[in-house]
Amino acid sequence: MYTFFPDLKQDHMHKHIKMPRSKIVEYHDDEKTAEYWNKIAQDILKKQLNRQINTGVAKNVILFLGDGMSIPTLAATRVYLSQKTKQSGEENELSFEKMPFTGLSKTYCVDRQVADSACSATAYLCGVKANEATAGVTAAVELKDCEAMRNTSNHVFSIGRWSQLKGKRTGVVTTTRITHASPSGVYAHIANRDWESDSLVLLDGFDPDLCHDIAHQLIHGETGAELNVIFGGGRQFMIPLTEKDEDGNRGLRLRRNLIEEWEDQKAKSEKSYQYVHNREGLLGVSDNTEYVMGLFAGDHMDYNLDRSPEKQPSLEEMTVKAIKLLSQGENGYFLFVEGGRIDHAHHATRARKALDETVEFHKAIQAALDITDAEDTLIVVTSDHAHTMSLNGYPDRGNDILGIGGMGTDDLPYTTLSYSNGPGYRQEENGIRHDVSKDDLTDKDYRYPALVPLWDETHGGDDVGIFARGPWAHLYSGVLEQNTIPHIMAYASCVNDGENACT
């Protein structure tokens, strides 16, 4: 067995070293018996055998997007969720992991092995792969190519627009700025994801009157203007530098208050509408309101661990309100919901916040599952790309997922969760690795260790999961190109041209 490494012995391969432990729970004694595991396997087998395929029409479609929600993030979150209540976690399931059909999505973009959130949004929303940092356009548009962006033959439209053209209500919910990369894929056609306001277009040397920014397209674009629900952060990108928002944040636009223009637009259409800026306002909106814009922060919404419940609604609350509002339409709806700050926490190597944001995402999906009918509502849960966080070592069962995972050959501990790169990098001192046992691992802002120093941790190129329930959910199986995702939704809800569930 050790022909090439004669000095190694088997007992050295998995040597049990005494080390600091942070064990939360013990596993159950029944798990030591074969009967326990055989029963679990048989129960799962029966469930698989009884699984029914739904080939009806999806009146409603909800796409949940966990930004940066890699497979390791799911595994770690299962444990984190249970350990918050002092329960075992490895065998736990998140709400969407209980969905009957699963697959994998290949996330590369036309010009990148590892995707960003804009080109990937173009894939899973518009059905076409694009170049890095561009959204709602084909790969004929390169980064910052304003002229190519203005060429409408290069525009691609989202499942949101396809649904609007069939008379369905549509909505976007996110915990990021409403003009950020992922939500922009629903309504914008942009050559640079950073062009969220006219001032940022001008900063790159282009005329914002010719090359319309993302916020402008949200209010005045053909898709954006028809959105019934707009929930997220990003007020500063909607108002001019001369004005302040409800929290005292100065605007970032050169001119024009787009919130007021949205209100004027809806007033002229003689449709019921309401703009809200906090949780109280959101909960007070009548479900019969046809158009609602809720902007709950000047920038991104706060992480859940930092959020003031009196001020900002949770992702679950925004999701439930959006579904109630959209359900008033006779022809059904399309809703895009993004748990966007999973990604931001990973970029900062703040693993605790990344897992907590994933729990909030799980709660929002459970709420949607509870108030919708699998017979007529297709719910798809996926991610745009992975991250470099790994779950590693040989920690004991029930060990704190955010704690120490093992000991290195240098007799220093390492954390169960760590990153390939990012701001959590610690430089060795005198050739000695940093001792993480001296750190406060309970700090919500603790930066988990990284191998390579970077200001921001990068995305990962791994495949990501797809989970589905409802009409034609069984088509989300196998390993799929990411741009297949909206085509299946369109087939199931009959908003595409050509063959679909209705024909």
189 is in an annotated binding site: no
Q: Per residue in 121-133, pLDDT tens?
A: 999 999 999 999 9
Q: Report pLDDT for 71.
A: 98
459 is in an annotated binding site: yes
Which residue stretches of the chain have pLDDT < 70? 1-27
Check the annotation: does 105 bind a ligand.
no
Q: Point out the catalytic residue in the list 105, 117, 120, 383.
A: 117
Using alpha carbons only, give the angle 335, 336, 342 rounded to the nearest 5 degrees: 150
Residue 306's nearest CA partner among 145, 155, 131, 445 is: 445
Q: Is residue 385 helix, strand or coil?
A: coil
Give how far Cα 381 sits from Cα of 61, 362, 452, 472, Å. 11, 10, 31, 14
464-495: pLDDT as tens digits: 999 999 999 999 999 999 999 999 999 999 99
Q: What CA–CA distance (Å, rounded) separates 267 from 427? A: 59
Ligand-binding annotation for 384, yes or no, is yes
User: Is residue 317 annotated as involved in ligand binding?
Assistant: no
338 is in an annotated binding site: yes
User: Three-class SS of residue 174?
Assistant: strand
Q: Residue 128 has what pLDDT?
A: 98
**C-alpha torsion 241→299→226→200, nearest 10:** 50
Active site (annotated) includes residue 117? yes
Query: What does the alpha-carbon distance between residue 84 and residue 70 come to, in Å, rounded to a whole number?
Result: 21
Structural fold of domain 60-388+465-493 = Alkaline Phosphatase, subunit A (3.40.720)
The C-alpha angle 148, 152, 158, rounded to 5 degrees, equals 110
**Whose CA is closest to 355, among 73, 90, 98?**
73
